[in-house]
Amino acid sequence: MRNLTRLVYDEHEGVAIVGLNRPRKRNALDAATVHELGGVFTASEGSDRVRVILLRGEGPDFCAGADLSEMEKLAATTDPLENLRHAGELGGLLIRMRRLRMPIVAAVHGHALAGGAGLATACDLVVAAEDAVFGYPEVRLGFVAAMVMALLRRAVGEKRAFELVSTGEPISADRAVAIGLANRVFPVDGFRESALDFAVELARRPASALELNKRLLYGMDGASFEESIARGAEINTLARLTEETRAGVRRFLEQQKP
């Protein structure tokens, strides 16, 4: 992956490893980082080699949130349309992540705060180091965790989401799992390796099944029970016709022969 100034990129056994690479800024999200993330996600989707994306942070933290110095400069322009465009770029990235055909796994260590916690929440799965700290402290600055709200209320429910964004309290890795914000907790020692192993194991699943699972899950947003069942039937039909499913069924049947 060429011309990356905010990210590092590698591939390993079907996993695209994408690292936020502004450690001196605690991997704060600026416009260039958001732009590069969108480009890397698009390139990964077009690759036959990539089945899963692992998103992590270089240095001591995953991501400390938005680059406040950039935000302050934008606010000083007093141009509401320019500020709206800037916010819209991040919003577009969150939508892109949800529509991406392959799963994205966030590997969170250190701090994932504000927009950094939002970026992790936008991923399909989250694994956390034991010392990871999540949080939505925007309220303490008089700000609002606005775009992430659409993701957070789906992940943890309305009342819990309101609590998290209104108190701004830090969230430990164990509590993040307990409330549905994260999926697994791994020891600090060897965390990067454990997170990569998790992503590699996921990448060994049939790519078509992973893609259809993601499409079905998010396709149920706002759908009635009856519509969800109907969409499930459609996805079921598509899955039956994929070569990976047919090959899997043949292997199973062969194993059952006396």
Question: Could you report the per-residue pLDDT of 117-131, keeping only the tens digit for each?
Answer: 999 999 999 999 999
Q: What is the pLDDT of residue 89?
A: 87
Residue of 11, 82, 138, 211 with catalytic role: 138
Q: What is the pLDDT of residue 64?
A: 94
CA 174 distance to own-chain centroid: 19
138 is catalytic: yes
CA-closest candidate to residue 123, choices 61, 198, 191, 181:
181
Q: Across 58-117, where does the E strand assignment appear?
A: 104-108, 111-113
Q: What is the pLDDT of residue 242?
A: 86
Q: What is the pLDDT of residue 141?
A: 87
The ranges of the chain with pLDDT < 50 are none
Q: What is the pLDDT of residue 9?
A: 97
Determine the Cα angle at 56 with ends 45 and 13, to 5°: 55
